[in-house]
Structure 1
Amino acid sequence: MKRREFMQAAAAASLAAYAGTAARAQAWPDKPVRLIVAQPAGSGPDAIARMVGEQLSQRWKQAVVVDNKPGGQNAIGAQAAARSAPDGYNFYFATSAALVTNPYLFKSLPYDPQKDFTPVGMIGRVPFVLAVNTASPAKTLQEFIAEAKANPGKVTIANEGPKTFGGMMTRLFGSQAGLQVNSVPYVSIGAAVTQTVGGQTEAVMGDVPALIQMIKAGRLRPIAVTTARPVAGLETVPSLAEVVPGFDYAGFMAIVAPAGTPAAAIQRFNRDLDAVLSDKEMAAKLLAVGPMTEGAGAPEQMAAFLQAEHTRWGKLTKDIGILPE
């Protein structure tokens, strides 16, 4: 009899614990959620984080507080996110630099992107575009390549620097196309665009959102995109893959959480993020300022994607001779 009573009590305790866990999961979030952004206020990632945060806030009936921690090639924000309490109320709006490329560019980082974070969901991919000054004699990608081959080391391509996505795309394109181009670094993509429009450099390699307004205004001529698939708004612009088979690169934005964050919070965040991104109006707004989204995907899918990207970028940086510094 005592054994039966003990089993009944244990079952009741287990049921109560499960009910409590389910209730907590259902109640999440019951206070403001912090979203750390490693770029300054007013930047592209910041604007996108605030757009997504506003929609999530409406669903959760809780504030989503964007906490900007710029600097150090994303390292300051990433470190802050990695060291945040894994309580389900701290998340990181991350870029491809923070999660994938930084380990291959810097000998030491104050965080480990593969150990310190748990995937939550993708925001979207950010294609890059190669565009020339309208005074350039090159009207097409093929003409640009012909010019570069005829003038080794003289054709200039502006970008944000050798350790940025645009800088690496410039170097990779030149290497795989057999070109000697002069990669010209600037302190920001805005400065690189301005200098190219002004004729100080012949071309610029940058993310589509940073160049699209000058392209639409006829101040820059797009001649190639870095993705194999066409880019919305630039559908007639060819891919670099046409001259460099297999060339298919894009930056990306994603949400991750500090390692150890409760699974219930991650699952709820992922579910609601996917609902936000799947809204056609929201997807169009995001596309106008940055990423092409296909929904958040499952955390497991994102984990597999990140692992594949690490493998690819590890090989890529070796192939083009980029060493960690």
Structure 2
Amino acid sequence: MKKIATALSALVIALISTTLSAQDKYPLRPVTLIVPQAPGGANDAIARVLAQKLSDQTGQSFVVENRVGAGGNVGTALASKAKPDGYTLLVTADSAQVINPALYAKTGFDPVKDFEPVAPLAKAGYVLVANPSFAGNTMAEFISLAKMQPGKYAIASAGNGTLNHLIAEMLQKAADIKLQHIPYKGAAAAATDVVSGQVPLSVQSMPSSIAFIKSGKLKVLGVVNEKRVAALPDAPTIGETVKGFGATPWYGMFAPTGTPKALTQYLQNEIGKALDDPDVRARLATLGCEPFKGTSEQLAVIVKDDLVRWAKIVKESGAQVD
């Protein structure tokens, strides 16, 4: 019996050593970062900045794969069902992870049970923009025009149930105005049609609109965030006109439930190093974003708190997916 026990003990030690050795060498092959939003939006831009830096740091490719649909539910559900080996990860916006559960009867995933938080990544500025020909130049002027002709003005979003859509719904509720919602397949397509004058208004992330703003092809009526954003220091927040209005979107990385803690900790450490890199910080700033460095435990708390907070906001706003 003693010999058997000794043999079993040796086997267990060997298995543990093999597992740790495999994890120490991670990643051994390309890692897929599923982005459940379309190319051209904030989440896609942030994911690509981080993917390039993580590839440089680890010597292995981190590849962005856009899997869009149902306001982010399609890609998120796909990531939740991936093998928990660290080779398929989710890089997502708070809208898909903590707002969609309040908007959709069925999302195809549980934001808490189906994922291991890895780390927060960034925060992004969001703005209400208009075609330069739009009559209003400030939030007060815009609200006045919208009140005079309810339903006249169209507002483009990245799609039904996306953050752009929900923020527009929240704004209508808070400012007591009515707009015509025009959903697009992605933020880039929506921004392009506002630039061309097909639609007068849109809520856009800074990454998807900053180039148009800087070139004068879009004008900013108000900043969605609670505070003014560094990339547009002179642009007032919407909350400066509509008291109590404001939201600061965040982005984070998640792994399927069951992913070994050693792997998520490794990724958290690599992300922390990436966010400390001056070049990464500069690239995020150019996009109108800022690093959001933190731990997996902090991200877990943020998710749980925001699920409650956004459920209340969705209910109060009356927002619904078309």
TM-score, length-normalised on structure 1?
A: 0.86
Query: Counterpart in 2 of 1:160?
Result: 158
Whether the 8 Å contact between 2:169 and 2:319 is mirrored in structure 1 is no
Q: Deviations over 1:45-73 (max 9, x none)?
A: 44432332222122222232334433343
CA contact (8 A) 2:70 2:160 kept: no
The percentage of counterpart residues that share the same residue type is 32
Change (3 A) 1:154 1:37: closer
1:61 to 56, 59, 62: 59
Gaps of 5+ in 2: none
1:89-127 Cα offsets, whole Å, 9 max, x none, are 321122223312222222112222221111001111222
Contact 1:79–1:111 (CA under 8 A) maintained in structure 2: yes
Quickly say closer, same or farther: Cα 1:200–1:278, change in 2 above 3 A: same
More displaced 10-residue stretch of structure 1: 124-133 or 220-229: 124-133
Return the alpha-carbon distance in structure 1 between the equivalents of residues 40 and 236 of structure 2: 31
Query: What amino acid sits opposite 2:316 in the alignment?
Result: D
Residue 244 of structure 1: how far off its partner (Å): 2.8
Give the equivalent residue in structure 1 for 2:127. 129
In the alignment, is residue 87 of structure 1 matched against residue 85 of structure 2? Answer: yes
Tell me the equivalent position of 1:300. Answer: 297
Gap change, CA 1:196 and 1:64, over 3 Å in 2: closer
- Rate the CA distance shift 1:67–1:17 in 2: closer, same or farther, 3 A: same
Higher alpha-carbon deviation: 22-31 or 49-58: 22-31
| Aligned-partner residue type, residue 242 of structure 1 | E
Higher mean C-alpha displacement, 185-194 vs 307-316: 185-194
Distance 1:299 1:222, change over 3 A: same
CA distance in 2, matches of 1:187, 1:24: 40
Equivalent position of 2:313 in the other structure: 316
Paired residues in the alignment total: 322
Report whether the alignment pairs 1:242 with 2:202. no
Q: Distance in 1 between matches of 2:68 and 2:130?
A: 30
Matched, 1:263 2:261: yes
Closer, same or farther in 2 for the Cα pair 1:96/1:225, shift >3 Å?
A: same
**Contact 1:86-1:260 within 8 A present in 2 as well:** yes
Give me the whole-angstrom Cα distance separating, in 2, the residues matched to 1:69 and 1:180.
32
Question: Which position in structure 1 is the counterpart of 2:169?
Answer: 171
Distance in 1 (CA, whole Å) between partners of 2:212 and 2:32 is 34
C-alpha deviation, 1:218, in angstroms:
1.3
Task: Indicate the residue corresponding to 1:213 in structure 2.
Answer: 211
Shift of 1:259: 0.3
Which of structures 1 and 2 has the bigger CA Rg?
1
Distance 1:163 1:182, change over 3 A: same
What is the CA–CA distance in structure 2 between the aligned matches of 1:191 and 1:48, rounded to whole Å? Answer: 18
Deviation at 1:274, TM superposition (A): 0.9
In the alignment, which of 37, 45, 48 is matched to residue 46 of structure 2? Answer: 48
| Equivalent residue letter for 1:316 | I
Matches within 5 A, 1:86-235: 86-235=84-233
Separation in 2, partners of 1:269, 1:154: 48
CA contact (8 A) 1:54 1:64 kept: yes
Equivalent residues in 2 for 1:3-82, closer than 5 Å: 23-39=21-37, 45-82=43-80
Give the direction of change, closer, same or farther, for the CA distance of 1:311–1:210 in structure 2 (3 Å limit). same
Q: 1:10 to 1:52 in 2, by over 3 A?
A: same
For 1:64 and 1:162, the matched residues in 2 are separated by: 29
Contact 1:230 1:239 in 2 (8 A): yes
User: How far apart, in 1, do the equivalents of 2:51 and 2:162 lie?
Assistant: 26
Deviates more, 1:121-130 or 1:173-182: 173-182
Alpha-carbon contact 2:53-2:280 (below 8 Å) kept: no
SS in structure 2 at match of 1:250: coil
Q: Report SS of the residue matched to 1:173.
A: helix
Identify if the C-alpha distance between structure 1 residues 279 and 21 changes in structure 2 by more than 3 Å, giving closer, same or farther.
same
CA distance in 2, matches of 1:33, 1:191: 28
Deviation per CA, 1:265-290: give whole Å up to 9, x if none.
00010011111011121111123236
